A and B are shown apart, each in its own frame.
Chain A
């Protein structure tokens, strides 16, 4: 009888508490969004499942080693985030998957990528005003970069206790790009500006493609060594893709390695979203500030696009500025959709990919700045 009672006491039913149940409900809701609504499913499914696993009462998955007993599975996998390993490896895969051709052929779109990072720094100020510490404010501001691995990397380095809330906010807003961005884009541009047809992009030579990652890493590495872990891996992945002699490495970075790291990253980020860290007023503030960051980033990108449109005598469609917030390639697709509403024969996708990938570089630089100044 005593054994049965002990068993009952060791079950989740006997130890369930309201915060854990709420977190499990949130995890199931996110799982629903990932599977049924297809909101960033490759990340939202492992994140929400990790969140579910770790919020079971008495869940052993995140416990640390104690008295010679080993820790939980996710505790060890989480070391990959704590030590800053997974996000740069994700960047390796992104680099191998990304065609920087549109950016190389139209390098002025880097300015759009830079302008869209303004949201990060304005939100940083907003978060400070809400009473967050500078490190926490930096982690919250980076949500505006709409770049999941960068947000995770910076948060794990500067405010690991916010990792769950920041990553859920970052990936939720990335998934909601088609809903958040179009009203801002339409509000800031005229019908005539949205209908601008851009000049055809010049062809980019193989040598340029090979030199691009080397040039980028030499310049940014000298400017901001703190950004090297992310940008270094991004450019290495791209060099694998473009140099023509490392096809196997390129394919491994794009597929096997990337998929494995996505599973580890998603699970462990979700595992960090336990009730004690997640169910706080701070989480609501982070979600609101994240939306502000994203909206300001979109607006500043579009405004820079308008400026470039004026300066070039109407040769730049300002809509492509919105793609500067990263969220590759979703933000570029949104530009294409909104552009075609104004001019059905317009084809903005290739042009928007320039600022889109510039945004990835820009947000990694912004993360490096926070690391250099605040850590």
Chain B
């Protein structure tokens, strides 16, 4: 049997409709729960934190006025960060560290380092830092 007859005979329409509905329902529920997760955690933290907060010492990273397209500035700002990572690292790790230190324009600066050859890909998403690369 072929064509629409085969689909109807095998309950194809029903299975496809149910399948799409379950995928959407499942992922929508997941999406809603995950969207609330950080709010619930913040609430729990607020309720449970009774002790006085000790302010975190600010990291000793001096941020010069940032022009994300200036390679030398980007090298200067990112060198101490990269030293905190292993010699071979992923861009997501560097990005996370840049965010932690509140560096301005992390995406643009990392792209600038990539395009200038200061970050060399080793494959599989792993990079190495070459501070003195000749363009």
A residues lining the B interface (CB < 8 Å): 99, 101, 103-104, 107-108, 110-111, 113-114, 117-118, 120-122, 124-125, 128-131, 133-134, 137, 200, 202-205, 207-208, 211-212, 215-216, 219-220, 223-224, 329, 345, 347, 350, 358, 361-362, 365-366, 369-370, 373-374
Q: Determine the chain A residues whose CB is within 8 A of the CB of B80 once the complex forms.
A: none
- B20 touching A128 by the CB < 8 A rule? no
Complex: chain A residue closest to B12, CB-CB: A128
- The 9 sampled A-B contact pairs (Cβ below 8 Å) are A107-B30, A108-B35, A114-B23, A114-B27, A125-B7, A208-B41, A219-B29, A345-B108, A366-B23
A107, B23: Cα distance in complex, Å: 15
- A220 touching B7 by the CB < 8 A rule? no
Q: Determine the chain A residues whose CB is within 8 A of the CB of B108 once the complex forms.
A: 345, 347
Say if the beta carbon of B85 comes within 8 Å of chain A. no
Complex: chain B residue closest to A368, CB-CB: B22
Q: Determine the chain B residues whose CB is within 8 A of the CB of A121 once the complex forms.
A: 15-16, 19-20
Chain B window 90-121, contacts with chain A (Cβ cutoff 8 Å), 1 for yes, 0 for no? 00100100010000000110010000000000
Name B's interface SS: helix
- A110 touching B99 by the CB < 8 A rule? no
Q: Determine the chain A residues whose CB is within 8 A of the CB of B19 once the complex forms.
A: 120-121, 124, 366, 369-370, 373
Say if the beta carbon of B87 comes within 8 Å of chain A. no
> A129 and B111 in contact (CB under 8 A), knowing A110-B27, A111-B27?
no
Q: Determine the chain B residues whose CB is within 8 A of the CB of A358 once the complex forms.
A: 27
A26, B13: Cα distance in complex, Å: 36
- Closest CB pairs A-B (n = 7): A107-B34, A114-B27, A121-B16, A110-B31, A110-B27, A107-B31, A128-B12
Q: Determine the chain B residues whose CB is within 8 A of the CB of A366 once the complex forms.
A: 19, 23
A202, B38: Cα distance in complex, Å: 11
Which of A101, A118, A137, A219 is in CB contact (< 8 Å) with B20? A118
Q: Determine the chain B residues whose CB is within 8 A of the CB of A134 once the complex forms.
A: 10-12, 15
Q: Determine the chain B residues whose CB is within 8 A of the CB of A131 once the complex forms.
A: 1-2, 6
- B30 touching A216 by the CB < 8 A rule? yes
Closest CB-CB distance, A190 to chain B, in whole Å? Answer: 24
A350, B34: Cα distance in complex, Å: 18
Q: Determine the chain B residues whose CB is within 8 A of the CB of A117 once the complex forms.
A: 20, 23
Q: Determine the chain A residues whose CB is within 8 A of the CB of B99 once the complex forms.
A: 203
- B26 touching A223 by the CB < 8 A rule? yes
> A128 and B6 in contact (CB under 8 A), knowing A114-B24, A373-B19?
yes
- B28 touching A365 by the CB < 8 A rule? no
- B6 touching A111 by the CB < 8 A rule? no
**Contact residues, B43-78 vs A (CB, 8 A):** none
- A220 touching B2 by the CB < 8 A rule? no
- B7 touching A219 by the CB < 8 A rule? no
Complex: chain A residue closest to B91, CB-CB: A349
Closest CB-CB distance, B31 to chain A, in whole Å? Answer: 4
Q: Determine the chain B residues whose CB is within 8 A of the CB of A208 once the complex forms.
A: 37-38, 41
- A212 touching B10 by the CB < 8 A rule? no
Complex: chain B residue closest to A201, CB-CB: B99
Complex: chain B residue closest to A347, CB-CB: B107
Q: Determine the chain A residues whose CB is within 8 A of the CB of B13 once the complex forms.
A: 125
Q: Determine the chain B residues whose CB is within 8 A of the CB of A329 once the complex forms.
A: 125
Closest CB-CB distance, B78 to chain A, in whole Å? Answer: 16
A128, B26: Cα distance in complex, Å: 25
